Chain A
Amino acid sequence: DAKTTQPTSMDCAEGRAANLPCNHSTISGNEYVYWYRQIHSQGPQYIIHGLKNNETNEMASLIITEDRKSSTLILPHATLRDTAVYYCIVRVARDDKIIFGKGTRLHILP
């Protein structure tokens, strides 16, 4: 079973920051937090991952709480192309199997 809890769906206005929360209260010390997204009928796309420090790349920022029991993915300026299902995942090894939950369906509104 997935070790994360995410809201089923969220809306965000185009141009605004989209903040997607994820709870992972049973995360172990050696588990990373990964985020993927899946645009309709495509394969999942890797976004970002982190262990305990906040991370930023060209796509998004990842904020992990100090106790590591929750995190937030931030898309700074959402566009219509960011409409997708976003999956928050915790896993140990980088080539270990990925256990997906149901994710958050993010709708970007024009």
Chain B
Amino acid sequence: DAGVTQSPTHLIKTRGQQVTLRCSPKSGHDTVSWYQQALGQGPQFIFQYYEEEERQRGNFPDRFSGHQFPNYSSELNVNALLLGDSALYLCASSLSGSQETQYFGPGTRLLVL
């Protein structure tokens, strides 16, 4: 049973570019949440997707957008990259309404130059 997977593992971009990160949830999970973790800080909630719609959103600008597909996988898109967007981006999946907690993937490390 595969856990949460993310791709790519590492990525280097330049300021102003756009990036797309991908996440496949744990088998049986239908909810995907995205987090940004800057160096030395705890993860910060970006948004959560359920039934292909954004259900909750943290304090992130509109440059951060997402999508969830019918198979529950998800993408995180960041436009007009800034140096401050350099971080570890984490995806977590869960089953809505269940007793289970969120399970995290290994993350994608993004470096913006």
- Using a CB–CB cutoff of 8 Å, the interface residues on chain A facing chain B are 2, 34, 41-46, 49, 85, 87, 94-103
Contact = CB atoms under 8 A, between A and B. Distances in A.
Contacts of B92: 43-44, 98
Nearest to B106: A43
11 contacts: A34-B101, A41-B107, A43-B4, A43-B104, A87-B42, A95-B48, A95-B96, A97-B45, A98-B35, A99-B45, A103-B42
Given A94-B99, A95-B97, A42 B42 contact: no
Contacts of B4: 43
A44 B63 CA distance: 25
Interface of B: 4, 31, 33, 35, 41-45, 48, 50, 56, 58, 88, 90, 92, 94-107, 109
A92 to B, nearest CB: 12
Top 3 closest A-B pairs, CB basis?
Answer: A100-B42, A43-B104, A97-B45
A42 to B, nearest CB: 6
Report which residue of A41, A43, A95, A101 has the largest number of chain B beta carbons within 10 angstroms of its beta carbon.
A95
Contacts of A49: 101
A43 B94 contact: no
Nearest to B96: A95
B33 A97 contact: yes
B106 A95 contact: no
B104 A44 contact: yes
Given A97-B58, A100-B44, A103-B42, A44 B90 contact: yes
